[in-house]
Amino acid sequence: MPPAPARRPMSPAGAGTDATRVASYNPRVSLSWLVTSQTLGGTRLYPVQNRLDRETALRLWTEANTWFSNEQGKKGRIKAGQLADLALLSADYFAVPESEIVHLRSVLTVLGGRVVHGGEEFGPPAPALPAPMPDWSPVARFGGYYRAAELQQDQSRFAAACGCGQGCAVHGHDHAAALGANVPASDARTFWGSFGCGCWAV
């Protein structure tokens, strides 16, 4: 269902995740979809006019959800007298490009005034994470959600160690970067370039 038309006056609406078989538990994936109307693969599902602005999307995830649990005025906002539940993100949700919303992560999470998660410089006050559940979850094997910035660093190191004598004039030299890039595969002319691709010659 397209998000904007679904929000009718007098109809409470909230945002959240679903079972891991159909959606990620990562709230930034949902926020990204609400703001961009694009899937993780970049497919635009709905017209641009059906997208939500960032504040509305965030409010659906926070304050709007309190109606469903009969906790209006108790949580959902950073305000005196409400529960101290908040997350400090790796970058400013309101300032990053839309394409980067999905890559944001919490570096500090506080629930009820207690630190329950800490990353980077906020790691020391955080308790140890419990084992992922269910035990077959990909998070148990890979240690967390996909981190694009770390992958780019690995790709740069790999490409620098490659040692090829020349690079493709269309797609560039970085083999590893090409694997993780947003390639315009739906447009053959853009993908192959004006004079054809020379990756085979590298």
75-133 pLDDT tens trace = 999 889 998 888 999 999 999 999 999 999 899 999 888 888 888 788 887 788 778 77
Q: How far apart are CA 135 and CA 118, in angstroms?
A: 22
Give the domain ranges of the chain. Answer: 3-142, 148-201
6 vs 96, which has greater pLDDT? 96
pLDDT at 189 over 60: no
Encode pLDDT of 17-38 as tens digits.
766 666 677 889 889 989 998 8
* Prediction pTM value: 0.63
Return the axis-axis angle of helices 27-36 and 54-61, rounded to nearest 10°. Answer: 140
Q: Residue 59's closest CA among 76, 80, 72, 71? A: 76
